[in-house]
Amino acid sequence: MLKKSASLDGEMRSSIYTRLYLISAIIVLLFVFLIIQIQIGVFSASRDVSSSLEIRQQSIMAILKVSGNQSISVNSTKVIDGASILSGATIVTPNQVGARVVLGSIATLDIAPNTTVEPEFDRNGAMKVTLTQGCVILRAGKDTEGEVVTSRGIAGKTNSSEDGPLEVCFPQGAWPGLGIEQNHDVGLFYFARLAAFEVIGGRLRTNLSVGLDERGSNPGPSSP
Amino acid sequence: MSFAAEKATPLLDEGREAGRSAFLPRFIGGVAVLAILPLAIWWAGRSGLVSLLTIYAAKTNQVAAADAALRLSPNDPDAHLVRGAILEANSVSAAVEEYKQAARVRPEDYLLWLSLARAQELNGDVGGAIAAASQGVRLAPYYARPHWLLGNILVRSGQAAEGFSELRLAGESDTGLLPAIIDLEWQLSGGDAEFVKRAIHPDSPESFKALADYFRKHGKANDAIEMFRAAGTAAEQERRQYLQELISAKSFKEAALLWSIDHAPPGIGQLNDPGFERPSNLDEPGFGWRRDNKAESLTLSLDTNNPREGRFSLRVDFNGVSDPGAAIISQLILVEPRAHYELRFAARTEGIVSGGLPYVVVFDAGSNNVLGQTSAFTKAKTDWQDYVIDFQGGESTSTVQLVLRRQPCSSSSCPVFGHLWLDNVSLQKL
């Protein structure tokens, strides 16, 4: 009896241990499965979020430069310096405000105040500028075909061998003195210089407590 | 007394000693001040001269002036900034070095980092540009411009999701930038309104309104209405303007959707307040009663005296000249295309005198074709009389307009006098 009871005890013990092992294994497996599921879920969710904002087609974009805190109109919306310009955008500069569109090494387009223009460009190094009114200077890089078109037809094409700028006003008239400069080397300078001047001017204003300046202390989230 | 005299002498002596001993520090202090003063004057003069040269360089585009300023003060960030701006015309890489110097000297100035970021991107160093703009964002996280610049650089570099995230923060800080941000996303997504909504992730009335306005201008009426609805009470005025636009464009289905944000939705074949039982704004565009004829000689009111049904009837008082072609009162009603309807109402008149008598007409609101009309109301005083207009719209008829107006006059001046009551208007599909 004692023997039997001991053997029974041992069997019971081994049976209990086996069950415990089994239960533990199942729990571990469930945890592993759960973790895998969570990871897959998180991964796919994050992939959904990031892919949902991927643009359909990589577009070539130009950089807009506008001096200081001024703004111009692109596709009938107000934009400021640093904006991205897509091919075919309608750019309108107001009175007293010029702008520059920089397309990497392909081309640079200086736009005078009171000008309406539509630059079209592609990756192959072609830039066509449709000038509705006002004045522009188009500088095309090497191997770039640049042309300015008005309602009267092609107003001019850039000469890539000479890398010279193409200056066009439509309708024909006096070249505006403010915001765009005919000197071939100072167009970019004009915008950068204005920006720098504004930075320094802003500091002087702050120091003299003459007026409010953008570069003051960083505002809180409630008062940007 | 004697005690005081005895003590007074040594006290005076001590005062002299103290005065002598205090003279030395004062003297040394004075000499030090005299020595420091010229230094301070020199320092102030040099700072002033550096500022003058820097501003002169910025104004005249002379790099020599910026160089002179830097010779006087090699670590002046403004002079480096201006020199960089001048050099940028011919050498962006040289400008980048100057901007780096400026940012190194004054690293807490986010604008210097943004200048560096711009130049680095132009120089083809997109990674450096992103790093510099990110530093600008860290220094001024609640300003719009750093987020704007970083967002645009990221988008241009192909990191659209990250770029849109930064642009969203720029839009939150400066809602004036939202239209430009929306336009960029719209252009890049090929006019995908859902994409734009996800990218902007609107959560304020301003952002909802900005999206609604953009969609409105780009012919996405349903998306615009969804955004106008989400904007809540802050967009009531804009909703009213858009409602007028949709009605003028004869987009009645969308107009009804927009109208239902602030009113009970107009049902097919259902009139709004058919018994003239409640006051309403007759100038509001939409699917309620509306007065187009603004002549002062016309007065419209709710009359409690002898209504045909309910508590009120509509009373129209004619007191002189008014445009006979303009609607005295009208209502747009949604209907089923090609369906046959019967419009019933009651009217009574009193002392109407005119060459152009009033009558009721039903138009196809889309085509302006007359679908049915009553004869002119009688001039004599009458009791309530029932009128019926049977009409059937065409294939494209989705909305009809019920109009009370006058017959045209033979003469240019067309006065009218008297009183008219309307009540108990109903529309039934046959």
Helices (H) and strands (E) in chain B, counts: 14, 9
State the pLDDT at residue A53.
Answer: 56
Per-residue confidence band for B220, with pLDDT thresholds at 50, 70 and 90: very high
Question: Helix, strand, or coil here: A54?
Answer: coil
State the pLDDT at residue A27.
Answer: 79
Q: What is the DSSP letter of B290?
A: B
Q: Which residue has the higher pLDDT, A41 or B31?
A: B31
Question: What is the side-by-side strand order in the sheet with B329-334?
Answer: B329-334, B399-406, B358-364, B370-373
Q: Which residues, at least 6 apart from A113, have a Cβ–Cβ distance to it below 8 Å?
A: A93, A94, A95, A96, A97, A98, A134, A176, A178, A179, A180
Spatial contact of B117 and B153, defined as CB atoms under 8 Å apart? yes
CA-based nearest residue to B91, from A113, A94, A2, A188: A188
Is the pLDDT confidence value at A40 over 80?
Answer: no
CA distance B426 to B387: 11
Q: What is the DSSP letter of B267?
A: P
> Which chain B residues are closer than 8 Å to A219 by Cβ?
142-143
Least reliable range by pLDDT among A36-50, B40-54, B213-227: A36-50
Is the pLDDT confidence value at A135 over 90?
Answer: yes
> Which chain A residues are closer than 8 Å to B177 by Cβ?
80
Tokens of A126: 């072609």
Q: Which residue has the higher pLDDT, B138 or A58?
A: B138
State the pLDDT at residue B374.
Answer: 96
3-class SS string, A75-130: CCEEECCCCEEECCCCEECCCCCCEEEEECCCEEEEECCCCEEEEEECCCCEEEEE
A186 contacts B89? CB cut-off 8 A = yes
Asked if B73 is an interface residue toward chain A (Cβ–Cβ < 8 A), one would say no
Residues 131-150 in B contacting A (C-alpha not used; CB under 8 Å): 139-145, 148-149
Per-residue confidence band for B389, with pLDDT thresholds at 50, 70 and 90: very high
CA-based nearest residue to A59, from A79, A90, A89: A89
Please give the mean pLDDT across all residues of chain B.
92
Taking only the tens place, the pLDDT of each residue in B81-112 is 999 999 987 899 999 999 999 999 999 999 99
- Closest CA in chain B for residue A107: B122
CA distance A183 to B331: 65
Q: Which residue has the higher pLDDT, B21 or B303?
A: B303
Q: What is the DSSP letter of B233?
A: G
Least reliable range by pLDDT among A35-49, B123-137, B182-196, B410-424: A35-49
Q: What is the average per-residue pLDDT within B125-147? A: 97
CA distance B275 to B273: 6
Per-residue confidence band for B362, with pLDDT thresholds at 50, 70 and 90: very high
Compute how many other C-beta atoms are within 10 angstroms of the C-beta atom of residue B3.
7
Compute how many other C-beta atoms are within 10 angstroms of the C-beta atom of residue B149.
27
Q: What is the average per-residue pLDDT within B128-153? A: 97
Spatial contact of B324 and B408, defined as CB atoms under 8 Å apart? yes
Chain A: give the shortest CA distance to residue B255, in Å.
Answer: 25
Q: Which residue has the higher pLDDT, B184 or A210?
A: B184
CA distance A92 to A78: 10
CA B194, chain centre distance (Å): 21
Cis check: omega of the bond before A171, within 30 degrees of 0: yes
Taking only the tens place, the pLDDT of each residue in B285-305 is 999 999 989 899 999 999 999
A195 contacts B198? CB cut-off 8 A = no
CA A216, chain centre distance (Å): 26
Q: In sequence order, what E strands does B80-138 have?
A: none
Spatial contact of B140 and B146, defined as CB atoms under 8 Å apart? yes
B177 contacts A221? CB cut-off 8 A = no
State the pLDDT at residue B291.
Answer: 94
Least reliable range by pLDDT among A17-21, A120-124, B173-177, B223-227: A17-21
Asked if B115 is an interface residue toward chain A (Cβ–Cβ < 8 A), one would say yes
Chain A: give the shortest CA distance to residue B33, in Å.
Answer: 26
A63 contacts B121? CB cut-off 8 A = yes
Q: Which residues, at least 6 apart from A80, have a Cβ–Cβ distance to it below 8 Å?
A: A66, A69, A70, A71, B145, B148, B177, B180
CA distance A95 to A201: 22
A189 contacts B86? CB cut-off 8 A = yes
State the pLDDT at residue A212.
Answer: 28
Per-residue confidence band for A147, with pLDDT thresholds at 50, 70 and 90: very high
Is the pLDDT confidence value at A201 over 70?
Answer: no
State the pLDDT at residue A29.
Answer: 79
Is the pLDDT confidence value at B1 over 80?
Answer: no
CA–CA distances in Å: residue B206 to residues A219, B152, B173, B174, B267: 20, 21, 11, 10, 31
Q: Exposed, middle or buried: residue B109 (CB in 10 Å: 0-12, 13-18, 19+)?
A: buried
Spatial contact of B358 and B420, defined as CB atoms under 8 Å apart? yes
Please give the mean pLDDT across all residues of chain A.
72
CA distance A96 to A81: 15
Q: Which residues, at least 6 apart from A110, have a Cβ–Cβ distance to it below 8 Å?
A: A98, A99, A100, A136, A137, A138, A139, A180, A187
A76 contacts B152? CB cut-off 8 A = no
Q: What is the average per-residue pLDDT within B166-175? A: 95
Taking only the tens place, the pLDDT of each residue in B314-329 is 999 999 999 998 999 9
Tell me what percent of the residues of chain A surpass a pLDDT of 90: 34
CA–CA distances in Å: residue B50 to residues A3, B46, B79, B398: 106, 6, 8, 75
Strands A145-150 and A126-140: parallel
Per-residue confidence band for A164, with pLDDT thresholds at 50, 70 and 90: confident
State the pLDDT at residue A55.
Answer: 60
Of A104, A196, A204, the CB nearest to B82: A196
Is the pLDDT confidence value at B187 over 80?
Answer: yes
Tell me what percent of the residues of chain B surpass a pLDDT of 70: 95
CA distance B383 to B308: 10
Q: What is the average per-residue pLDDT within A183-210? A: 44
